[in-house]
C-alpha cells in the first residue's frame, strides 16, 4: 500500500517510533472513520489513520511504529501502525520475573 501511494503522490513514506501523546480521537470525514492522534516525539503533527473493522484502538502512552506521509492538505496520513515494544522495559520486566522465581525457589529450599 505504501509503495502505491508513493507513486501516486510522488512522496516517500517516513517511519517513526514513538509514544502516543493523548487518547486518540475517532472522527468521521467524507464517509470514512479516522483515528486522529499525536506522538510525543512530534507533537505539532496531527496523524490520521483510516479505520478499518480490524484496526486496533490505540491508547495514550502506547509505543508504536508508524509509516506515514504528508498529503496535499498538509495532514500526516498514517499508512501503517504497529506495536513497538520498549526492549529495555521488556528486559527489566523479564529480569524481575526471573528474580522473583529464583527468590521463591531459594526460600522454598530453606
**Residue 34 to residue 48: CA distance in whole angstroms:** 6
pLDDT in tens, 68-79: 998 887 788 999
Instruction: Classify residue 78 by burial, with Cβ atoms within 10 Å: 0-12, 13-18, 19+.
Output: buried
| Residue 47: domain span | 2-85
Q: Decide if 33 is inside a domain.
A: yes
Per the CB < 8 A criterion, the answer to whether 35 and 56 are in contact is: no
Q: Give this prediction's pTM.
A: 0.67
pLDDT in tens, 30-84: 899 999 999 999 999 999 999 988 888 899 999 999 999 988 877 889 999 998 8
Phi-psi region of 8 (alpha: psi -120 to 50; beta: other; left: phi over 0): alpha
For the chain, the domain total comes to 1
- CATH number of 81's domain: 2.40.50.140
**Residue 81 to residue 62: CA distance in whole angstroms:** 11
Q: Decide if 10 is inside a domain.
A: yes
pLDDT above 90: residue 89: no
Q: Decide if 96 is inside a domain.
A: no
Per the CB < 8 A criterion, the answer to whether 62 and 19 are in contact is: yes
Amino acid at each position: 500500500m505504501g509503495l502505491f501511494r508513493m507513486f501516486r503522490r510522488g512522496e516517500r513514506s517516513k517511519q517513526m517510533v514513538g509514544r502516543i501523546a493523548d487518547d486518540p480521537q475517532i472522527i468521521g470525514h467524507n464517509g470514512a472513520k479516522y483515528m486522529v492522534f499525536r506522538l510525543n516525539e512530534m507533537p505539532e503533527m496531527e496523524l490520521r489513520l483510516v479505520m478499518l473493522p480490524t484496526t486496533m484502538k490505540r491508547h495514550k502512552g502506547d509505543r508504536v511504529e508508524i509509516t506515514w506521509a504528508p498529503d496535499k492538505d498538509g495532514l500526516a496520513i498514517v499508512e501503517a501502525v504497529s506495536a513497538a515494544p520498549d526492549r529495555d522495559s521488556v528486559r527489566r520486566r523479564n529480569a524481575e520475573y526471573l528474580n522473583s522465581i529464583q527468590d521463591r525457589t531459594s526460600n522454598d529450599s530453606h
